Amino acid sequence: MIKNNKNRGFTLIELLVVIGIIALLSSIVLSSLTKAKAQADNTKQIADYRVVLNALLQFKQDNGYYPSTNTLGDNCIGIYSDSGCKKTSAVVPNNTSVNSSLQKYLSSYNFVDKTITITTLIPTIINDYKGFILSCKSGGAQCQYGKLSFPALRNNNSCPQIMSDVKAGDSIVTGTLDYTWCSVDLN
């Protein structure tokens, strides 16, 4: 008597092999997508830095000084929630005067209120770092020389080379984690 093999299904081993292959392929694809997203985030962040830096340089070229209401202090560039830029637990307030001065140069730019969040394990501390901080170094009625500070890249805590003299600035140690702010001197 001949058996009819029309209704023969897959064995458990065959199903497990197929499921394993699918899992392996999906993990490879997800790994590639994660790397691509991290690279895209870095590219966007670097583009943001260049836009703000170019706006400041264009303002100085047109006016002979950097926009500031405090010639020897910090000015937050952009409008952020939590009332301003945040480099440490202290907040540098949103500065409407500086922002209106830069409006012409940043008219098509939309500040993203995206923070860099670091959570430590012991003690549990959450710090959100965000913004562009213009620190004026010159005295007198106008800001002639300054420093632009901004958070390091989110994905690798490094400072991008948007200009030849960008350097790692303040290092903020939060419990067991270390976070870097970048800076560039503006002359």
pLDDT tens sequence across 72-90:
788 888 877 777 787 766 7
CA distance 132 to 78: 7
How confident is the model at residue 123, as a pLDDT? 45
Rounded average pLDDT over 54-64: 90
pLDDT tens sequence across 24-58:
999 998 888 888 888 888 888 888 888 888 889 89
How confident is the model at residue 59, as a pLDDT? 92
Average pLDDT over all residues of the chain: 77
* Domain segments of the chain as ranges: 12-186
Provide the token pair at 52: 């703000």
174 and 127 Cβ atoms separated by less than 8 Å: yes
CA distance 118 to 50: 24
Instruction: Tell me which of 106 and 163 has the higher pLDDT.
Output: 106
Residue 133 CB: number of other CB atoms within 10 A? 24
pLDDT of 176 above 70: no
Residue 142 DSSP label: S
**CA angle centred on 108, ends 106 and 111, rounded to 5°:** 70
pLDDT of 13 above 90: yes
pLDDT of 23 above 80: yes
How confident is the model at residue 62, as a pLDDT? 94
pLDDT of 175 above 80: no
pLDDT tens sequence across 96-134:
888 888 888 887 777 665 655 544 444 444 556 678 888
